Chain A
Amino acid sequence: MAHLDFLELHFGIFLHLTILTTTTSFGVPYLTPFAPSRKGAFKDDIFISPLWKQEQRPIFLKPKNKIREPKISRKWIKGG
C-alpha cells in the first residue's frame, strides 16, 4: 500500500471536502461563506475590514436585524 500514498492523499482530501461541506452546526453549514457560497464571502472572511466598517451581520446566520451598526458609526470623525 505504500506505493499508493499519493492516491490515498487525494482520497482523503476528497472525502474530507465532501463530508465537511455537508456538515452543519446548529443548522449553519460548516464551510458556509465558501461552500455554499454567499454574497460578500470575501468581504469579512478572508480579508477582514476594520470593526467600524463591519456594518452588516453575517447573512448565513439568518439574523433578525441584518444591520450591526449604522453607516456612519464614528460620528466624531469626518466621513467615519
Chain B
Amino acid sequence: MQNVKISALECISTLGIVAVIPSLLTGPTFTIQSFGTGSIMHIIYMIIIGTLFFSLLFGLFLKFKGMDIIDISEVAGGKFLKYFTGITIVIYLMLTIILALSEFTENIRNILFENAPTEYFYLIFYVGILISVLIGIRGIFRASTILAPVIILGVIFIFFSLYSDIDITNFTPIFGNSINEFFIPGSFRLEMFESIFLILLIGPQIKHIKKATIGSYILISLFTLIIALLLFGIFPYPSSLENYFPLFELNRLISFGRFVQRVESFYILIWLIAMYIYISLGTSYAVQTFSKLFNIKYSNRIIPLFCILVVLRSTIFRIIY
C-alpha cells in the first residue's frame, strides 16, 4: 500500500462521493424491485441494522492498529486466507468498477451524446483513470475534498426544490410486497453501505480512523435517505421500476419559474467528476491490493494493465446489453 496519510475529512468526503454513485445508477431501482413500496422503510431498517453491524465490525477492526483486512486475514488464517481475501477483494473492486463504468457510459451516451462513437468515451475514461492512478491516491482523496461540498450542496438543493412533490401515499403499504421478504432476507441487503467497506482497506492510512468511520457512516446514511425519500416519494411504485438513471430523472424535475430550468446539465458536471473519482479510487486500490498480495515492488508498471482491463471489460458488457 502507498505510504500516504489521509485525514478524516478527506476520507469522509471520498466515501460520501463513492456512496452517491450507486444511487446515480440502478441501485435504487434494484431496491424497489425487491421491496416495492416498502423501499423507504427498508432503507430506514437497513440504517438501524447497519449501525449495529458496523459498530460490531469496526469495534473489532479498530483493535488491530496499523493493519488492513489482508493483514488481519493473514493473522487469522495464514497464507491461504490472505490470498483468498486479497483475490476476492481485487475481483470485487474490478467488477463493481466495470459494471458502473459500462452502465454510466451507456446512460450518459443516451442522454447527451447520441451520435458520438462509444470508443471515444472509453478512450477518454482510460486516459483519465490512467493519469489519476499514476499520480496516486493522495490526488484522488484531495480532489474529492474539493468536490464533496459541491455534491452535498447539490443534494441539499435537490431536496429543497423537490420536497413539495413528495406524495406520502407512494410509501404505502409500508412493508411493500411481503413482510416475509422484508425482515429476514432483507437484512442482508447492505449494498447501500458498500463504500464504507473501503475503510477495511484504507484503515492504516487514515489518521483519525474512528472519527472518519462515524462521519462517513452518517454522511452515507443521510445521502441515501434523502435520495431514496425523493425517488420513491415522487415516482410511484410501478413506474419507478423504469428509472435507469434515477438521479438524472430527479434533476430533470427541478425548475424555478421560466428562467431557472435545465439544471440537470450542471448536475451532469458533478456526476461525471464523481464517476472519475469512483473509478480511479477503485482501480488504484485494486492495483495496490494486487501488488501487496504478490509482493510487486514497482506497482506503477501494472497500472496501465489494470486500466486496460477495466475499460475493455466495460465494452464487453456494453455489447451484452
Contacts and interface: CB of A to CB of B under 8 A. Distances in A.
A31 B113 CA distance: 34
Interface string A24-38: 000001010011110
B292 interface: no
Contact of A13 (B10, B124, B273): B273
A36 B142 CA distance: 6
Contact of A31 (B135, B142, B268): B142
Contacts of A60: none
The dominant DSSP class at the A interface is helix
Given A14-B276, A35-B145, A19 B139 contact: yes
Contact of A10 (B136, B146, B269): B269
Nearest to A9: B269
Interface string B239-271: 000000000000000000000000000001100
B115 interface: yes
Contacts of A35: 10, 142-143, 145-146
B115 A3 contact: yes
B7 A8 contact: no
B132 A7 contact: no
A28 B8 CA distance: 20
The dominant DSSP class at the B interface is helix
B131 A15 contact: yes
Contacts of A4: 113, 116, 120-121, 124
Given A3-B115, A11-B128, A35-B143, A22 B7 contact: no
B110 to A, nearest CB: 14
A17 interface: yes
A36 B10 contact: yes
Contacts, number: 85
B118 to A, nearest CB: 11
A7 B124 contact: yes
B166 interface: no
A35 to B, nearest CB: 4
Nearest to A10: B272
A6 interface: yes
A18 B131 contact: yes
Nearest to A22: B139
B128 A6 contact: no
Contacts of B138: 21-22
Nearest to B115: A3
A23 to B, nearest CB: 9
Given A4-B113, A14-B276, A21 B143 contact: yes
A36 B7 contact: yes
A25 B35 CA distance: 53
The 4 closest A-B pairs by CB, nearest first: A21-B142, A3-B116, A18-B139, A35-B142
28 contacts: A1-B120, A3-B115, A4-B116, A4-B120, A6-B268, A7-B112, A7-B113, A7-B121, A10-B269, A10-B272, A11-B124, A11-B127, A14-B272, A14-B273, A14-B277, A17-B147, A18-B139, A18-B280, A21-B138, A21-B143, A21-B145, A22-B139, A22-B142, A35-B10, A35-B143, A35-B146, A37-B7, A37-B10
Interface of A: 1, 3-4, 6-11, 13-15, 17-19, 21-22, 29, 31, 34-37
Given A4-B113, A14-B132, 8 more contacts: A3-B120, A10-B272, A10-B276, A17-B143, A29-B142, A35-B145, A36-B7, A36-B142
